[in-house]
Structure 1
Amino acid sequence: MKSPLIPLIACLLLPAAVSAQEADVGAELYRAHCATCHGIEARGNGPMAPALLLRPPNLRELARRNDGTFPTTRVVMRIDGRDPLVSHGSPMPVYGDFFDGDDTATKAETGQPIMTSRPIVDLLAFLENIQE
């Protein structure tokens, strides 16, 4: 049985800055799963963007649109499906099941721990690194 304290302790020990390795892995995941809609440069202009009812956001401006704070919780919940977004008659593709398994704690923008998966933490690192 897993102790519920292990993710909390892991979250408290997380480094403040994201590692280059996490961001590199996140960039690969982004290209494979996100660029079709959000674009290679994450500006919301992927080849599928014109077919969507809601234009994909420019992911380089997430922090700017959130008063300078990267919206970690909102990003995690959009990716894993806890906060679905209807864009083309159905929710944004939910990658929670695809990225499921490797439970990892990270810090929300409030400093509180949030549980997600290692691939989503890697995507977060990539997205945080590309903020303008």
Structure 2
Amino acid sequence: MIRTMTAAGAAACLAACLAAPALSQDADPGRTEYMIACAGCHGESAKGDGPIAGLLEIHTPDLTRMAERAGGTFPYEQAVLVVDGRNEIRAHGSDMPVWGDRYFVSAMASDGLDPAQGDMMARGRILALVSYLSAIQQ
């Protein structure tokens, strides 16, 4: 489902983002999202060697080789869809957490946001994360 946002909604979303805890001037929000959401399984280096990886029943992929596995071009859209996970049919579970839901719930915990604003905040966090993944390709 595609949602649109009014100018007032965009302003409220921006205000909520600005009210969030500040990162240092040189901080990369995508790297921050990665370290919070992904490093436990994929490792700080994104090589698939996080502290939880050995406890999983699946192979944790090396995220620095996504472009290589996709024929040399970073699969930006696919990465966004996998990280978001809200549009996947997961009748039998999944190997990946549904970060779109988690980010949406987190955004909605902020006062005064409507669902469209929460969705925009969730998508922003996902895009920052995927942009970081794109930047660390080897």
Q: Which TM class, normalised by the smaller chain length?
A: 0.5 to 0.7
Instruction: Give the letter aligned to residue 68 of structure 2.
Output: R
Counterpart position of 1:51: 55
Q: Deviations over 1:67-92 (max 9, x none)?
A: 1111112211111113478xxx9422
Q: Deviations over 1:38-86 (max 9, x none)?
A: 000000000111111211110000001101111112211111113478x
Number of aligned positions between the proteins: 102
- 1:32 pairs with one of 28, 32, 36: 36
1:126 aligns with 2:132: yes
TM score, norm. by length of structure 1: 0.66
Q: Deviations over 1:15-38 (max 9, x none)?
A: xxxxxx8x8100001001100000
In 2, Cα distance between equivalents of 1:42 and 1:83: 23
Unaligned stretches of 5+ in structure 1?
Answer: 4-20, 105-115
- Write 1 or 2 for the structure with the bigger share of strand: 1
- Paired-residue identity, %: 39
- Residue 120 of structure 1 aligns to a residue in which SS? helix
In 2, Cα distance between equivalents of 1:24 and 1:95: 19
Q: Which has the larger radius of gyration?
A: 2
- Write 1 or 2 for the structure with the bigger share of helix: 2
Counting only pairs closer than 5 Å after superposition, residues 74-89 of structure 1 correspond to structure 2 as 74-81=78-85, 82-83=87-88
Unaligned stretches of 5+ in structure 2?
Answer: 6-24, 105-117
CA RMSD of aligned residues (A): 2.9
